Structure 1
Amino acid sequence: MPVTALVSAKSSGVTTSALALALASGRPTTLAECDPSGGTIRSGFLQNEVSAGFGLYHLAKAERVGPDALANAFASHLWPLDDAGHRQLLPGLTDPAQAAALSRTWPSLAHIMRVLATQASQDVFIDAGRLALDAGRLHPTLTPAPLLHQADLVLLVVRGTDQSLTLARHLLKPLTAELSEHGSGSDALGLLLIESGPYRAHQVAESLKLPVMAALPFDPESATYLTQGGPQPRGYKRSQLLRHARTATQQLEAVAARRQVQRQYAPEPASTQLAGVLERLNHKRKGVPHG
């Protein structure tokens, strides 16, 4: 299954899109909220159900102990997004100041994501947030670049508006260079279009010279629920957003599979250090203790 990272030039619905994809997938799914500027699912969709003692920041300390500690900490900090525990969240940072502590953790975390996808057959979505640049390159602290390097697909989330396309255009050169030099190639980069604004998918693709790999409808009621939580809207499970998100996950899997065949990628073997992650995910209880 693919590892898909979502990014944006500015607030374009990255978190809402990533959450919709994770909830709509027909397979076991992990969503990692890795935006260095801070996570919002904890206080929004989860309505502060998860305390600050739980989530991404705590993996930095575990990584300094060693691979086994990181693998076990990762499994311990996943929070169920559904009653069966088939969809799980790694909650994000509660304070942007915590991002600096994760600079050496990102590569190890990227490897865990890869193992989840190849060995545990999970859909893995990474909310990498708004990209920050430094001298024309991805910022070393404010962007989780190693997660993008190891992703099968990197989706630049845009809306069909002049403002969104203009902002996105400034990221194309540095992001393409980053994936060419350190990732799996520039063809990992594509667009996720939020269908808001006058421009259709073919116009957006032509404007940015990138393929639209998936599209999600502008569905304010469902998007508000995913952003803010609260009572579930009537008909939410049959909403346009979830229906199109389900289709999008299938499209992304197909694109990633084609890339793998074209490049003849071989699945990485699960390392012994990550055995704890797989064992705990495969035999995980339906719930986890509230931290």
Structure 2
Amino acid sequence: MPVTALVSAKSCGVTTSALALTLSSNRPSLLAECDPAGGTVRAGIMQGQVTAGYGLYHLAAAERTGADALAGAFASHLWPLDAAGQRKLLPGLTDPAQAAALGRTWPALSEIMHVLSEEAGYDVFIDAGRVALESGRLHTTLTPAPLLYQADLVLMVVRGTEQSLTLARHLITPLRAELAEHGSGADALGLLLIEDGPSRAHQVAEALKAPVLAALPWDAGTAGYLSNGGRPPRGYGLRSPLLRHARTATENFEAAASRRHIQRQYPARPANPQLSGVLARLSQNHGGGKRG
């Protein structure tokens, strides 16, 4: 299953899209909230259930102890998004000032995510937030660059509006160049279109010179619930337009990632025995309620 990173030029619904994809996948799934600007899921759909004692920031200290400590911390800091525990959340930062501590943690965290994807069959979605550049390169603190470099797919989330396309147009070329130089290749970059605005998928692809790998409908009720929590709207669930199309999108991403692997004949990722404990820990059901 692919590791898919979602980014944007500005607030275009990255977190809401990542949540929709995670909740609608046919497979076990993980949303890793890795936006250096801070996470929003705690205060949104989770309605404050997840305390600051859980989440991404705590992995930095564990990584300094070693790979096994990081693997254990990663497993213990996941929070269930459903009653069965098949959909999990790695909560994000509570303070953007914490981002600087994660610079050396990103590569090891990426490896764990690929273990989940390749050995446990998880769909892994990374909310990487807004792309930040410095002298034409990915900013080393404001963007989790190693996660993008190692992802199977990097999706620029855009809306079908002229404003959104204009902002994204300035980032597509440097991001593609960064993936070509440091990542798995320029062809890892694709677009996820939010159908809000007059431009259709083919027009967006032409404007940004990148393929639209999936499109999600503008579903204000479901999107509002995923962003803010509260009472689910009528018809919420896999019958809702957003989640129904998100399920199709996850299949599109798997097919796109598989094509890339075949075309490039990627060698198998070498196993890391220090990370084997991750799978054992994640096989345990964490339950759906609040943990003490």
TM over 0.5: yes
- Structure 2 residues not aligned, in runs of 5+: none
Contact 1:118 1:267 in 2 (8 A): no
Aligned to 2:222: 222
Does structure 2 retain, via aligned residues, the 8 Å contact 1:51–1:290? no
Q: Does 1:285 align with 2:286?
A: yes
Q: Deviations over 1:8-32 (max 9, x none)?
A: 0000000000000000000000110
Q: Which residue of 2 aligns with 1:272?
A: 273
- The question of whether the paired residues in 2 share the 8 Å contact of 1:35 and 1:93 is answered with yes
Q: Deviations over 1:60-80 (max 9, x none)?
A: 000001101000000000000
SS of equivalent to 1:167: helix
- CA spacing shift, 1:170–1:93, aligned 2, 3 Å: same
Match of 2:51 in 1: 51
* Residue 236 (structure 1) aligns with: 236
AA aligned opposite 2:246? A
* Partner Cα distance (2:269, 2:288) in 1: 29
Answer yes or no: is the 8 Å Cα contact 1:36–1:143 preserved in 2.
Answer: yes
Alignment pair present for 1:95 and 2:95:
yes
1:253-264 alignment to 2 at 5 Å? 253-264=254-265
Amino acid at match of 2:77: H
Residues 253-272 of structure 1 deviation map (CA, whole Å, 9 limit, x = unaligned) = 11111111111123324311
Question: CA shift at 1:173, angstroms?
Answer: 1.7
Q: Which amino acid aligns with 2:191?
A: L
CA distance in 2, matches of 1:154, 1:283: 30
Shift of the alpha carbon at 1:273? 1.1
Asked whether the 8 Å contact 2:83–2:289 carries over to 1, the reply is: no
Q: Which runs of 5+ in 1 are unaligned?
A: none
Closer, same or farther: CA 203–23 of 1 in aligned 2, 3 Å? same
Could you report, residue by residue, the CA deviation over 1:188-237 in whole angstroms, capped at 9, with x for unpaired residues? 00000000001000000000000000110000010000000011111111
Q: Kindly provide the amino acid, as one letter, of the partner of residue 65 in structure 1.
A: T
Shift of the alpha carbon at 1:122?
Answer: 0.6
Instruction: Indicate the RMSD between aligned Cα atoms, in angstroms.
Output: 1.0
Does the 8 Å CA contact 1:38/1:96 hold for their aligned counterparts?
A: yes
Which amino acid in 1 is paired with 2:15?
A: T
Match of 1:23 in 2: 23
Show the counterpart of 1:129: 129
Structure 1 runs, 4 residues or longer, greater than 6 Å off: none
Matched residue SS, 1:119: helix
Instruction: Say which SS state the counterpart of residue 192 (structure 1) adopts.
Output: strand
